[in-house]
């Protein structure tokens, strides 16, 4: 495509490039921060209750009342995690994701594990949220059911574009829907509780419950339901990963946003679960729990449709949390040399383009494989999040211990510590205990999850995370090797020219290109020879004649290639030259026809390019491809194919 057109298209889709100096303006306040980072956590209320009921249904509808105490325990866990993470936000104002905290306190292995777990879960967040979002749409418009996968992929494509434009603009674009959901869902819970208290809330009707083979209610089943419900807590850590996106004072803004988010999440999750039990909501293939609650409270009117729209949109927005965090975490791994370096590349719009694209493609693939079936994705989900919670919290425990030890030493040595540092060190033991409780709770949930969901899908995660960590270390090994190779051990005095250099021109035919190569060689001023590989003796004669007629200097060496191979005879020739001078280099000059346009180049074989690539691989051979440009005069180029 024409470079100019490419530029114009890039502007339309991604906006104009951002100057280095503008970079720090790309931060967000608390209000937008909530919209960007909290939608993941908040949106999970759309499916968490339903997933609990879906497991309890195995023991029959009578077990549904257990959903309330289960939700209670989960909200308690939420409180613990919010308090723990609040401490992390203040301790790591430059971004305190599990990766950084683990790396700082537990070492590289723990950091890579935490990172791998989170990366997997970010991909799953997109897949689960988008699937669940389209579940809501399908609840309202059942005729869209056959197109659910397509719908998902279109949504992911849209989000990819938004995020390639940059986080601030997408944050603003997503603020309205997030608040719309918070208001409509809180209002719904409020109205529901009010109607319930007046005795006017009737059980929902016309729901066909999923079919299951009844089993007895065991502790295992209750724990499984609890695990499913814990998906409500995914996304709680999002803010701690994204502190740098906040306006100054970063930590304070991030922390307030996190606490506010925890309160809303707890209220909605408990409220929805409470209402679900009281309207006798039932998990169903064709209608979500949110839809059942909406119908019970509002009937089929405007308010019901607003609730469904809000829920759908928040789920779509939730996926956006991953778009904010996944590329940033990839860049962290890549910066440390555990993922391909390309992931640290910031585009003209200051976003990590490759991370955004990789996330979109992986999530799209998952949705395609699992046919946008939310319940099938759930067992793979959340285990990674809880693994990273655990590592992060234990990292904090170690950190407080170090600080405590430092304080003790300071006291023991009777050194005076500055006012600020003293304040910072105060109460380290209390903080340590808070993080310890957070860590133990998360670790417990992770183990319960892995155990109760193993056969239904968690095994995938259990295999994939170590595999990813292994891959990360392989990549790291490669970069270490390259770094060692590139580092210069030499001193200034050793920058000398090569003791010998032979110049060889590769000649295919005698034409404009040949002329340019010869002119270049003559300009360099070193002696040279020309080389021609011939498949056909008659043609060789013609080439010889033309050479003598038109160039007529130096020597033209002919290499006969009966198997019509090009590289092999050249390689053989170069090898013999290299052997004749063990420390010299060979400068090979080839030609390259440069054809402008999009279709023109397709009419010319890539042989020259292939030969160039192969010759470059030979030690002590340096290749120059002298370009000859097909004229670009406007008139002619319009005629070009």
381-440 positions binding a copy of itself, by CB under 8 A: none
Site for a copy of itself in 195-234 (CB under 8 A): none
Is residue 583 within the footprint of a copy of itself (CB under 8 A)? Answer: no
Q: How far is the C-alpha of 303 from the C-alpha of 14, rounded, in Å?
A: 36
By the 10 Å C-beta count (0-12 exposed, 13-18 middle, 19+ buried), 195 is classed as: middle
Q: From the centroid of its chain, how far is CA 221?
A: 34
Indicate the residue among 576 and 583 with the shorter CB distance to a copy of itself. Answer: 583
Indicate the residue among 423 and 519 with the shorter CB distance to a copy of itself. Answer: 519
Radius of gyration of the chain from its Cα atoms, rounded to whole angstroms:
33
Choose the binding region for a copy of itself from 30-38, 176-184, 279-287, 512-520 (rule: CB under 8 A): 512-520
Identify the residue among 177, 262, 283, 513 touching a copy of itself (CB under 8 A).
513
Indicate the residue among 238 and 530 with the shorter CB distance to a copy of itself. Answer: 530
Q: How far is the CB of 593 from a copy of itself (least distance, A)?
A: 7
Indicate the residue among 213 and 523 with the shorter CB distance to a copy of itself. Answer: 523
Choose the binding region for a copy of itself from 34-42, 146-154, 263-271, 477-485 (rule: CB under 8 A): 477-485
What's 586's DSSP letter? E
Q: How far is the C-alpha of 352 from the C-alpha of 358, rounded, in Å?
A: 10
Identify the residue among 98, 221, 531, 626 touching a copy of itself (CB under 8 A).
626
Choose the binding region for a copy of itself from 289-297, 446-454, 569-577, 620-628 (rule: CB under 8 A): 620-628
Site for a copy of itself in 26-55 (CB under 8 A): none
Torsion of the alpha carbons at 503, 506, 512 and 517, rounded to the nearest 10: -20
Provide the sign of the torsion angle of the four alpha carbons 238, 236, 178, 152, taken in this order.
positive
Site for a copy of itself in 447-476 (CB under 8 A): 474-475
Is residue 479 within the footprint of a copy of itself (CB under 8 A)? Answer: yes
Torsion of the alpha carbons at 192, 195, 199 and 202, rounded to the nearest 10: -50
Indicate the residue among 186 and 511 with the shorter CB distance to a copy of itself. Answer: 511
Provide the sign of the torsion angle of the four alpha carbons 318, 319, 321, 322, taken in this order.
positive
Is residue 190 within the footprint of a copy of itself (CB under 8 A)? Answer: no
Q: Please answer whether residues 166 and 24 qualify as being in contact, where contact means their C-beta atoms are separated by less than 8 angstroms.
A: no
571: left (phi over 0), alpha (psi -120 to 50) or beta: alpha
Choose the binding region for a copy of itself from 228-236, 355-363, 460-468, 505-513 (rule: CB under 8 A): 505-513
Indicate the residue among 487 and 576 with the shorter CB distance to a copy of itself. Answer: 487
Identify the residue among 466, 477, 527, 610 touching a copy of itself (CB under 8 A).
477
Is residue 511 within the footprint of a copy of itself (CB under 8 A)? Answer: yes
What backbone phi and psi angles, to 5 degrees, belong to 504?
-125, 130
Q: Please answer whether residues 76 and 230 qualify as being in contact, where contact means their C-beta atoms are separated by less than 8 angstroms.
A: no
Site for a copy of itself in 283-342 (CB under 8 A): 340-342
Identify the residue among 140, 303, 464, 515 touching a copy of itself (CB under 8 A).
515
Q: How far is the CB of 491 from a copy of itself (least distance, A)?
A: 7
Identify the residue among 202, 369, 463, 602 touching a copy of itself (CB under 8 A).
602
Site for a copy of itself in 243-262 (CB under 8 A): none
Site for a copy of itself in 519-538 (CB under 8 A): 519-520, 522-526, 535-536
Say which residue the tokens 């030493």 belong to.
Answer: 409
Q: How far is the CB of 623 from a copy of itself (least distance, A)?
A: 7
Q: How far is the C-alpha of 61 from the C-alpha of 49, rounded, in Å?
A: 14
**The two three-digit tokens of residue 246, written as one number:** 């906040």
Is residue 608 within the footprint of a copy of itself (CB under 8 A)? Answer: no
Indicate the residue among 90 and 345 with the shorter CB distance to a copy of itself. Answer: 345
Identify the residue among 4, 21, 538, 583 touching a copy of itself (CB under 8 A).
21
Is residue 497 within the footprint of a copy of itself (CB under 8 A)? Answer: yes
x/- track of binding to a copy of itself for residues 540-579 (CB under 8 A): ---------xxxxx--------xxxx--------------
Choose the binding region for a copy of itself from 76-84, 199-207, 448-456, 506-514 (rule: CB under 8 A): 506-514
626 three-class SS: strand
Q: Are strands 556-560 and 585-594 parallel, antiparallel or unpaired?
A: unpaired
Query: Total residues at the site for a copy of itself (CB under 8 A)?
Result: 84
Is residue 636 within the footprint of a copy of itself (CB under 8 A)? Answer: yes
What's 455's DSSP letter? I
414: left (phi over 0), alpha (psi -120 to 50) or beta: left
Q: How far is the C-alpha of 529 from the C-alpha of 45, rounded, in Å?
A: 76
**The two three-digit tokens of residue 408, written as one number:** 């003790």
Q: Please answer whether residues 14 and 347 qualify as being in contact, where contact means their C-beta atoms are separated by less than 8 angstroms.
A: yes
Cα separation of the two ends of the chain: 13
Choose the binding region for a copy of itself from 126-134, 255-263, 416-424, 508-516 (rule: CB under 8 A): 508-516
Q: How far is the C-alpha of 379 from the C-alpha of 461, rounded, in Å?
A: 9
| Continuous segment of H or E residues that includes residue 560 | strand 556-560
Residue 520 CB neighbour total at 10 angstroms: 16
Indicate the residue among 397 and 543 with the shorter CB distance to a copy of itself. Answer: 543
Indicate the residue among 274 and 472 with the shorter CB distance to a copy of itself. Answer: 472
Choose the binding region for a copy of itself from 24-32, 262-270, 407-415, 517-525 (rule: CB under 8 A): 517-525
Residue 360 CB neighbour total at 10 angstroms: 25
Identify the residue among 199, 206, 619, 634 touching a copy of itself (CB under 8 A).
619
**The two three-digit tokens of residue 636, written as one number:** 């002619």
Q: How far is the C-alpha of 271 from the C-alpha of 158, rounded, in Å?
A: 32
587 three-class SS: strand
Indicate the residue among 128 and 626 with the shorter CB distance to a copy of itself. Answer: 626
Indicate the residue among 574 and 621 with the shorter CB distance to a copy of itself. Answer: 621
Site for a copy of itself in 336-365 (CB under 8 A): 340-342, 345-346, 348
By the 10 Å C-beta count (0-12 exposed, 13-18 middle, 19+ buried), 490 is classed as: exposed
Q: How far is the C-alpha of 509 from the C-alpha of 506, rounded, in Å?
A: 9
Is residue 17 within the footprint of a copy of itself (CB under 8 A)? Answer: yes
Q: Please answer whether residues 623 and 612 qualify as being in contact, where contact means their C-beta atoms are separated by less than 8 angstroms.
A: yes
Indicate the residue among 29 and 483 with the shorter CB distance to a copy of itself. Answer: 483
Is residue 72 within the footprint of a copy of itself (CB under 8 A)? Answer: no
Indicate the residue among 18 and 259 with the shorter CB distance to a copy of itself. Answer: 18
Choose the binding region for a copy of itself from 11-19, 48-56, 193-201, 444-452 (rule: CB under 8 A): 11-19
Q: How far is the C-alpha of 55 from the C-alpha of 456, rounded, in Å?
A: 12
**The two three-digit tokens of residue 519, written as one number:** 């002119």
């Amino acid at each position: 495509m024409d470079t100019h057109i490419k530029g114009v298209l890039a502007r339309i889709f991604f906006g104009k490039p951002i100057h280095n100096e503008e970079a720090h303006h790309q931060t967000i306040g608390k209000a937008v921060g909530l919209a960007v980072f909290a939608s993941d956590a908040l949106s999970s209320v759309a499916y968490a209750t339903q997933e609990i009921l879906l497991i309890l249904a195995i023991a029959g509808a009578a077990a549904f009342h257990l959903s309330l105490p289960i939700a209670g325990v989960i909200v308690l866990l939420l409180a613990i995690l919010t308090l723990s993470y609040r401490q992390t936000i203040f301790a790591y104002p430059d971004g305190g994701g599990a990766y950084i905290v683990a790396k700082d306190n537990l070492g590289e292995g723990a950091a890579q594990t935490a990172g791998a777990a989170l990366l997997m879960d970010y991909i799953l967040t997109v897949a689960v949220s988008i699937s669940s979002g389209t579940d809501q749409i399908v609840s309202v418009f059942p005729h869209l059911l056959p197109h659910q996968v397509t719908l998902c992929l279109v949504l992911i494509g849209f989000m990819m574009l938004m995020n390639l434009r940059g986080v601030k603009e997408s944050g603003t674009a997503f603020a309205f829907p997030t608040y719309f959901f918070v208001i409509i869902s809180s209002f719904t819970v409020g109205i529901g509780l009010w109607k319930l208290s007046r005795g006017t809330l009737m059980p929902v009707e016309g729901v066909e419950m999923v079919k299951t083979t009844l089993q007895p209610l065991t502790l295992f089943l209750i724990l499984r339901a609890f695990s499913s419900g814990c998906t409500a807590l995914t996304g709680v850590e999002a803010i701690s990963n994204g502190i740098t996106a906040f306006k100054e004072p970063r930590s304070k803004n991030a922390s307030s946003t996190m606490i506010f988010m925890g309160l809303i999440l707890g209220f909605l999750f408990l409220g929805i679960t409470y209402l679900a039990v009281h309207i006798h909501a039932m998990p169903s293939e064709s209608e979500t729990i949110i839809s059942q609650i909406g119908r019970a409270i509002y009937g089929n009117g405007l308010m019901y449709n607003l609730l469904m729209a809000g829920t759908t949109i928040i789920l779509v927005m939730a996926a956006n949390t991953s778009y904010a965090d996944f590329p940033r975490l990839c860049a962290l791994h890549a910066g440390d040399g555990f993922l391909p370096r390309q992931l640290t590349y910031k585009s003209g719009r200051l976003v990590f383009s490759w991370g955004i694209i990789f996330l979109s493609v992986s999530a799209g693939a998952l949705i395609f494989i699992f046919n946008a079936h939310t319940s099938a994705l759930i067992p793979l989900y959340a285990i990674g999040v809880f693994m990273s919670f655990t590592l992060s919290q234990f990292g904090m425990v170690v950190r407080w211990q170090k600080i405590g030890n430092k304080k003790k030493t300071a006291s023991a040595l009777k050194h005076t510590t500055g006012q600020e540092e003293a304040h910072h060190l105060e109460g380290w033991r209390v903080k340590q205990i808070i993080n310890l409780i957070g860590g133990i709770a998360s670790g417990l949930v992770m183990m319960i999850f892995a155990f109760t969901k193993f056969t239904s899908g968690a095994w995938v995660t259990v295999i994939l995370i170590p595999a990813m960590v292994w891959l990360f270390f392989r990549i790291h090994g490669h970069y270490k090797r390259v770094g060692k190779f590139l580092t210069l051990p030499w001193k200034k005095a050793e920058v000398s020219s090569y003791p010998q250099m032979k110049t060889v021109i590769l000649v295919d035919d005698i034409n404009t290109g040949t002329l340019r190569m010869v002119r270049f060689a003559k300009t360099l001023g070193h002696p040279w020879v020309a080389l021609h590989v011939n498949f056909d003796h008659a043609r060789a004669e013609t080439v010889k004649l033309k050479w003598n007629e038109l160039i007529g200097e130096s020597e033209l060496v002919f290499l006969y290639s009966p198997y019509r191979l090009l590289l092999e005879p050249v390689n053989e020739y170069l090898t013999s030259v290299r052997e004749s001078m063990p420390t010299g280099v060979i400068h090979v000059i080839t030609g390259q026809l440069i054809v402008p346009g999009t279709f023109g180049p397709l009419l010319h074989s890539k042989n020259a390019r292939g030969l160039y690539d192969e010759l470059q691989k030979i030690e002590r051979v340096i290749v120059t491809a002298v370009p000859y440009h097909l004229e670009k005069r406007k008139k002619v180029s319009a005629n070009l194919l």
